[in-house]
Structure 1
Amino acid sequence: MGVAYSGGADSTALLLAAARRWPGQVDAFHVHHGLQAAADDFVRVCTAVCARVGAPLHVVHVDATHASGESPEDAARRARYAALATAALAQGTKCVLLGQHADDQVETLLLALSRGAGLPGLSAMPARFERGGMVFYRPLLQTPSDVLRQWLVQQQIPFVDDPTNTDERYTRNRIRARLMPALAQVFPQFLATFARSARHAAQAQAVLVEIAMQDLTAAGNPPVIQAVQALSTARQANLLRHWLLLQQATPSAAQLDQLLHQVVACTTRGHRIHLKVATGHVTRQGGSLHYAATATDR
């Protein structure tokens, strides 16, 4: 059993709970991004706490430099999960627990709403997922942050506060500092009710994926255009989005709308389809749709 341990309150509470539940069976994995001066202090606190709870600490150094057009947060998240998976696999760990809690879940939902996300975004964070050959779990998604902090204070276990969490240049931090307190005043139970909405969205999205898989099986892979045209517009969009995601391509709303328009208009042999989608193009080849990433993006 592994725990992703940053030294913050959330992951500290998770580590303490896991070490008590599975004594002698828990390893802590600390990702050192090297992005701030306090990073070495985090390691010192983590080392002391791990010694106290009897959990071996594995410090993993990563390069979280973001690529052109990629946000620093996304780059750090991608590097963190890759490093955790690699380190956990090297130790023979079967799964890694993550410390995201109810507040994090609602912040993720609000971010998705602000971006006009569909059901995948409104589903927020899944309780279980796989990445890099490792299974990750988020067991605290229904537990508020305040409850975790209060418990740690009662247990007299030290933790660190990441100074970047108060930097309001980041949208998530502005949501945390300004919007969440306002919501708590107007809707005191919003953490539970918003998280419930995210679970409903996740269930609905799972149904849409099942339908898309069935429709794609019937239409063929790559999909035959006439078979796609036989579906309702909503099911066409659902099938095409799912098919593109299988090609590692995430279409924008505008790209998907344009593709749907072209599919509907494709009624003659000479109709040509060549649309930019994500990092590649959707084309018509015979009676079917095909997707290929551009050579420079592979």
Structure 2
Amino acid sequence: MLLNELYQKLMPYQKAKRWIIGLSGGMDSTVLLHLLVELKKQYPLPTLSAIHIHHGLQTIADHWPDHCQSICDQLNIPLTIVKVTITQQASIEQAARDARYTAFANQLQTGDILITAQHKNDQAETLLFRLFRGAGVKGLMSMPNQRPLGQGTLIRPLLNIPYDTLRHYAESNQLCWIEDPSNQDTHYARNYLRHQIFPKIIDYWPQAIHNIVQTSEHMQEAQKLLNELAQQDLLEAQTPPLYHWLSVPSLLVAPLKNLSTARQKNALSFWLSNYTLQPSTQHWHGWFDLINAKETATPIWQLHNAEIHRGNHRIWLLKNDWLTKPSSVHLPIETAKEICLPNNGLAKLSGKLPQGSFYITYRQGGESISLIRGTRDLKKLFNEETIPNFLRQRLPLLIDQQGNLVAVANHPQWFNKNYSKDFTFEWIAPHFSS
């Protein structure tokens, strides 16, 4: 019965390139490995292999790779062993988990399936653990049955299988597994929940695990509805900006302001999920400060490794190179060509440059340009076009040998009247990477 249930869960992935089992050496993953080997005897399955992540947090753990190798040798399954270094954080559990999944992701190739052995009890523990930490609907979904990981997909086919069923299978088949002594240490929050809290809950409510997992399924349905609502609410806000040459993600402010507070948070959470970690409950005040600021203000909302800026009637998400002010440049130009700008993409001069020497730099303040309609202050031109502040410090300027502003990249309307338009001045902005 267990074998058939596992096969039904994995049938959609039969055409995958490889199935890779996450093997810790504990009972759960040992049962999963054994089940998959038995399954391959009955059905044509993708190539099976296993991966063991060695955290090195305990001296005894140094023997676990050898144990996993021994099991895999007996079953004729190739094993990859990856040693990771744990960066000390407030939660050693979370740090170990992050390192483990990063290592998994790095090993997956396009089309690979990583199969892990979390079971029904793990799912219930996850929901309760997150509930105590104040999670919302998304957090209370617990663990998804599948999700993208690296270039492949992570599958958890045992989430509906109780721990006792796996234990019975392990003992019936006389499997040999590792008992991690740290799993008994109730200083760790998950272990305290497992050993001190859950037994009391189950004594009083025998169906608690089933019911808690059912709640996580309800939360998954609720989150799907919230995602659909977010996509509808973002339709108008996702109108592309006028700057076709700019890859920075952005949204129009007005459609967002028309939404209720709850729908604003839902839409923005959905949008941000592609780029950065979700803001905490306490952190959302920064969003409302930003969206309710005066039209002339230039507020910034600080997020985890990202910032939201407001400008040109939009919000803009900045990450990575976009958070670093480009280095000052004074690049001499004599012929039309592409010029690499440190931390700021490329400047491209095409056509026929006039006689003389030119150079590329950035705005310092106080610049003006001679246009057909008169000399204009560059700051006022920026204000009239409502160019966001983060762009003003990055737009390349072309200067002649007398120090006159000749052109502003990507803005052909701002071209010095004393020069003929025989050339174009473009800026190929840095690519935004999520």
Indicate the structure with greater strand content. 2
User: Which position in structure 2 is the counterpart of 1:279?
Assistant: 305
In the alignment, structure 2 segments of 5+ residues that lack a partner are 1-18, 239-248, 326-433
User: Which position in structure 2 is the counterpart of 1:46?
Assistant: 68
Give the SS at the match of 1:29: strand
Taking the TM superposition and a 5 Å limit, the aligned residue runs for 1:217-256 are 217-220=235-238, 222-256=250-284
Deviation at 1:295, TM superposition (A): 4.1
State which of 83, 98, 101 in structure 2 corresponds to 1:61. 83
State which of 146, 153, 165 in structure 2 corresponds to 1:135. 153
Alpha-carbon separation, structure 2, partners of 1:290 and 1:12: 47
User: Which position in structure 2 is the counterpart of 1:77?
Assistant: 97
Instruction: Select between 33-42 and 276-285 the one with higher mean Cα deviation.
Output: 276-285
State, as a whole percentage, how many aligned pairs show the same letter.
33
Query: Is the CA contact 1:19–1:54 (under 8 Å) kept in the aligned structure 2?
Result: no
Deviation at 1:123, TM superposition (A): 0.5
Query: Is the CA contact 1:236–1:260 (under 8 Å) kept in the aligned structure 2?
Result: no
Alpha-carbon separation, structure 1, partners of 2:100 and 2:270: 27
Taking the TM superposition and a 5 Å limit, the aligned residue runs for 1:1-298 are 1-23=19-41, 25-66=47-88, 69=89, 71-89=91-109, 94-220=112-238, 222-260=250-288, 262-263=290-291, 265-266=292-293, 268-293=294-319, 294-295=323-324
Query: Is the CA contact 1:241–1:256 (under 8 Å) kept in the aligned structure 2?
Result: no
Deviation at 1:110, TM superposition (A): 1.0
Indicate the structure with greater helix content. 1
Alpha-carbon separation, structure 1, partners of 2:173 and 2:180: 21
RMSD: 2.2
Query: Is the CA contact 1:99–1:139 (under 8 Å) kept in the aligned structure 2?
Result: yes
In the alignment, structure 1 segments of 5+ residues that lack a partner are none
Deviation at 1:93, TM superposition (A): 7.1
Shift in CA distance, 202/212, structure 1 to aligned 2, threshold 3 Å:
same
Question: Which digits, 9 at most, give the CA deviation of each residue in 1:3-23, with x for residues without a partner?
Answer: 111110000010000111014
Give the SS at the match of 1:218: coil
TM-score (norm 2): 0.63
Indicate the structure whose relative CO is greater, using CA pairs within 8 Å and at least 6 residues apart: 1
Alpha-carbon separation, structure 2, partners of 1:44 and 1:233: 55
Shift in CA distance, 22/132, structure 1 to aligned 2, threshold 3 Å:
same
Deviation at 1:184, TM superposition (A): 0.6
Question: Which digits, 9 at most, give the CA deviation of each residue in 1:172-213, with x for residues without a partner?
Answer: 010001111011111111111111111111121122122212
Alpha-carbon separation, structure 2, partners of 1:88 and 1:280: 27
Query: Is the CA contact 2:276–2:305 (under 8 Å) kept in the aligned structure 1?
Result: no
Question: Which digits, 9 at most, give the CA deviation of each residue in 1:120-143, with x for residues without a partner?
Answer: 110011110111112110011111
Query: Is the CA contact 2:108–2:151 (under 8 Å) kept in the aligned structure 1?
Result: no
Alpha-carbon separation, structure 1, partners of 2:79 and 2:178: 16
Letter in structure 2 aligned against 1:177: H
Alpha-carbon separation, structure 2, partners of 1:295 and 1:175: 43
Question: Which digits, 9 at most, give the CA deviation of each residue in 1:232-268, with x for residues without a partner?
Answer: 22211111222233331421112224423542x34x5
Alpha-carbon separation, structure 1, partners of 2:235 and 2:297: 24
Letter in structure 2 aligned against 1:44: D
Give the SS at the match of 1:30: strand
Alpha-carbon separation, structure 1, partners of 2:151 and 2:31: 26
